[in-house]
Amino acid sequence: MSRLVLVLGDQLSMGLSALRQADRDSDIVVMAEVAEETAYVKHHPKKIALIFAAMRKFAARLREDGWDVRYAQLDDTQNAGSIVGELLRRAEETGASEVLVTEPGEWRLIDKLKHAPIKTHILPDDRFIASHQEFEDWAQGRKQLRMEYFYREMRRKTGLLMQGADPVEGKWNFDHDNRKPAPDEVDFKGPMEFQPDETVEEVLDLVEARFDGHFGQLRPFWFATTEGEARRALAHFISNALPKFGDYQDAMLAENRFLYHAVISAYINIGLLDPLEVCEKVAAAYAAGDVPINAAEGFIRQIIGWREYMRGIYFLEGPDYPARNELGHDRDLPDLFWGAETQMQCLSKAVAQTRDEAYAHHIQRLMVTGNFALLAGIDPGQVHEWYLAVYMDAFEWVEAPNTVGMSQFADGGIIASKPYVSSGAYINRMSDYCKGCAYSVSKKTGEGACPFNLLYWHFLDRHRDRFKSNARMGNMYRTWDRMDADRRETVLAEAEGFLKRLEAGETI
């Protein structure tokens, strides 16, 4: 009796556990572009196009490899509209009575598959370095789940950048050498771009016709859609950008959207690149003397550290994690996140780039849009939905811990030991945004004062009870308390005024 092997849009790996477990001669692969997956948030059109194009090419590759693949395109008249619906349709068509699937990256879909009216075997997703059990064992009994300690375990486990039991060059973390402000000139021309072929063009036409109302520019579309292309994009990054990745990891420039970033998260997350293999290539470039340690270590930490840790937290904390709101923030997400005009240059640039590219790098997400949402007290559920919709690499297992936990502190501090908030000074130090802004970053109050300067103190003041005894925030409160009372009152009143205008939908 044949079984169905479900391959989801972010499971495009030839070594996927469900494919390894299946029998190519008797089992049938099911892949489906379905309305339900395109609708749980209004995904950026580029993200939908990437997934559909990569799915179509992966299906073709499986067929070449001898698999019987039943593929539903979104506009097929028989399309059942949901993953479970497609499984039932294919079961009836083929007589199969069981399904093999690698665990999806979202509780919503795991739940649907567990309750599907067909016997479904959910297999571990072993494209990650740590299994759920390993993460749970590491977390067990710890008061704080700090990424840095988990990361060291992953270094030991993989042997990446290790010399026996010790880290190479004597330190686990070289961040001290990173975080330089924006350079005057960037000598990296950006990520490798790929000309759309016939398959991509067909998908672009479909997405254009069906998802016109979604936020984001569909064209130009230049992303890799096969494993081979993604590998070329990675090699291009390692040769041309990685050496300076560490130095300028946190820098932001109004007219340079990618700086020295890899722009490979979407490729890893949908399965075109294997995370361990990516890190091995980076470690090899370091070993060959092509890349300094601060770049290689910093990059590898993002993948075997942060990426794995975020997944660990998502599955450890359970399905209610994305809905947490420990700070009780409830303001609606302002329209400027959807491209409405704003005078705040940093936000305007970060949102415009998100609209055009479905990409913003980590510090833009954390210290511009995320920082603003947190300071302004925006409902973290709405912030979460925004990040899940607008970025090419957004899948809930990685997006929710980054947004709800790291960026919005809505999990009460499981991920971040203190909230990632800053005044305009940080943005000014790390970017050139403030130069072209209608607001003045050096003004703390009064006409034209940078809103981040006002909201920063407003945030600290309104959450004093929660954060006053946080050792890492003592300095901030001491500075605030040293200001004279009149000045504090002015700051708070102006911040309130700003928030009122924001709520009223005025252009800010």
Site for ligand DLZ, rule CB under 6 A: 8-10, 32-34, 37-38, 43, 48, 51, 104-106, 109, 395
Residue 439 sits in the site that holds ligand SF4 (CB under 6 A): yes
CA–centroid distance for 186 within its chain: 24
Determine, following the binding rule CB under 6 A, whether residue 272 of this chain makes contact with ligand FAD: no
Shorter beta-carbon distance to ligand SF4: residue 151 or 498: 498
431 binds ligand FAD (CB under 6 A): no
**What single-letter DSSP state applies at residue 431?**
B
Stretch near ligand SF4 under the rule CB under 6 A, chosen from 193-201, 375-383, 422-430, 493-501: 422-430
CB 274 within 8 A of CB 245: no
C-alpha to C-alpha distance for 407 and 420, rounded to whole angstroms: 6
Residue 34 touching ligand FAD (CB under 6 A): no
Closest to 73 measured CA to CA, from 207, 224, 167: 207
Using alpha carbons, select from 38, 125, 36, 21 the residue that is nearest to residue 84. 36
The item of ligand FAD, ligand DLZ, ligand SF4, none sharing an interface with residue 366, based on CB under 5 to 8 Å by kind, is ligand FAD
Beta carbons of 232 and 370 less than 8 angstroms apart:
no
Asked whether position 336 contacts ligand SF4 by CB under 6 A, the answer is no
Q: How far is CA 416 from CA 146, 179, 403, in A?
A: 8, 18, 11
Of 32 and 441, nearer to ligand SF4 (C-beta) is 441
The entry of ligand DLZ, ligand SF4, ligand FAD, none near residue 109 (CB within 5 to 8 angstroms by kind) is ligand DLZ
Locate the DSSP E strands across 7-81: 28-32, 68-72
Q: For residue 220, is the peptide bond before it cis, meaning its omega torsion is within 30 degrees of 0?
A: yes
Site for ligand FAD in 304-333 (CB under 6 A): 306-307, 310
Closest to ligand DLZ by CB, 30 vs 454, is 30
Beta-bridged to residue 121, according to DSSP, are 100
Does 424 engage in binding with ligand SF4 (CB under 6 A)? yes
If contact means CB under 5 to 8 A according to the sort of partner, which of ligand DLZ, ligand FAD, ligand SF4, none does residue 247 touch? none
How far is 507 from 7, CA to CA, in rounded Å? 45
Choices 168-176, 186-194, 383-391, 426-434 (CB under 6 A): range interacting with ligand SF4: 426-434
Q: Which two tokens stand for residue 198?
A: 């016939």
Q: How many CA atoms lie within 13 A of 276 on its CB side?
A: 10
> Which contiguous run of DSSP H or E holds residue 120?
strand 119-123
Distance of alpha carbon 370 from alpha carbon 351, whole angstroms = 11
Stretch that binds ligand SF4, among 65-73, 76-84, 280-288, 423-431 (CB under 6 A): 423-431
Question: What is the Cα–Cα distance from 455 to 495, expressed in whole angstroms?
Answer: 6
- Amino acid code (one letter) for 507: T
CB of 388 to ligand SF4, least distance (A): 25
* Cα angle value 186/192/197 (rounded, 5°): 150
Under the criterion CB under 6 A, does residue 265 sit at the interface with ligand FAD? Answer: yes
Other beta carbons within 10 angstroms of residue 75's beta carbon come to 10
* 422 near ligand FAD, judged by CB under 6 A: no
> Which residue lies nearest ligand DLZ, judged by its C-beta?
9
The listed partner (ligand DLZ, ligand FAD, ligand SF4, none) that binds 254, CB under 5 to 8 Å by sort, is none
- Give CA–CA dist 154/160, Å, rounded: 8
Question: Looking only at residues 342 through 381 of this chain, which bind ligand SF4 when binding is defined by CB under 6 A?
Answer: 344-346
* Other C-beta atoms lying within 10 Å of the C-beta of residue 506: 10
Rounded (5°) CA angle 310-313-319: 115
Q: Which is nearer to ligand FAD, 313 or 502 (CB)?
A: 313
CB of 393 within 8 A of CB of 265? yes
Residue 309, interface with ligand SF4 (CB under 6 A)? Answer: no
DSSP class of residue 141 equals T
| Residue 353 sits in the site that holds ligand FAD (CB under 6 A) | no
**Which residue of 450, 454, 473, 502 would you call a contact of ligand SF4, by CB under 6 A?**
450
| Identified binder of ligand FAD from the candidate list 62, 84, 99, 262, rule CB under 6 A | 262
* Residues near ligand SF4 (CB under 6 A), total: 14
* Contacts of ligand FAD in 388-417 (CB under 6 A): 391, 393-394, 398-399, 402-403, 406-407
In the list ligand DLZ, ligand FAD, ligand SF4, none, the entry touching 460 (Cβ below 5 to 8 angstroms by class) is: none
147 binds ligand FAD (CB under 6 A): no
Q: Which is nearer to ligand FAD, 261 or 463 (CB)?
A: 261
**Which entry of ligand DLZ, ligand FAD, ligand SF4, none binds 428, CB below 5 to 8 A by partner kind?**
ligand SF4
Does 263 help bind ligand FAD (rule: CB under 6 A)? yes
* Whether 115 contacts 66, CB under 8 Å: no
Which residues have C-beta within 8 Å of that of residue 480, sequence separation ≥ 6? Answer: 457, 460, 461, 488
**53 vs 398, which CB is nearer to ligand FAD?**
398
Q: How many angstroms separate the Cα of 388 from the Cα of each of 75, 76, 109, 239, 400?
A: 24, 27, 15, 31, 8
Handedness of CA 349, 351, 354, 360 (dihedral sign): positive
Cβ-based nearer residue to ligand DLZ, 395 or 426? 395
The candidate with the shortest Cα–Cα distance to 43, out of 9, 73, 1, 89, is 9
- Binding site partner of 437, from ligand FAD, ligand DLZ, ligand SF4, none, Cβ cut-off 5-8 A by kind: ligand SF4
- Interacting residue ranges for ligand SF4, rule: CB under 6 A: 344-346, 424, 427-428, 433-434, 437, 439, 441, 450-452
Residues at the site binding ligand FAD, with contacts judged by CB under 6 A: 261-265, 268-269, 299, 302-303, 306-307, 310, 361-362, 365-366, 370, 387, 391, 393-394, 398-399, 402-403, 406-407
